[in-house]
Amino acid sequence: MKLLLINPNRTQAVTDAVLAAARTAARPGTGLLAVTGRRGPAIIASRAENALAQQEVLELAAQHVAE
């Protein structure tokens, strides 16, 4: 099984933390790929930032759908 972990904000430290948590919970042999948004907000703290992040999630998922 492969899992794509999408962090729609631009904070790499958040992506790293999510990946570390996923590694502790994933079964052996699970492929994990964590990606960080490039154009989203640094932190998602408002409705407007959430709207921007939603678009980033869709774009990142589309980029990695074939992998």
Q: Is 66 helix (H, G, I), strand (E, B) or coil?
A: coil
Going residue by residue through the chain, which has 67 residues, state the pLDDT in tens, using 9 for 90 and above.
999 999 999 999 999 999 999 999 999 999 999 999 998 889 999 999 999 899 999 999 999 986 6
pTM for this prediction: 0.85
Is the distance from CB of 42 to CB of 8 less than 8 angstroms?
Answer: no
Q: What is the amino acid identity at position 27?
A: R
Domain count, the chain: 1
Domain that holds residue 53: 2-64
User: Apex CA 12: angle with CA 28 and CA 37, to 5°?
Assistant: 95
d(CA 42, CA 65): 24
Strands (E), 1-67: 2-7, 31-36
Q: Determine the Cα–Cα distance for residues 8 and 43; give it in Å rounded to an integer.
A: 9
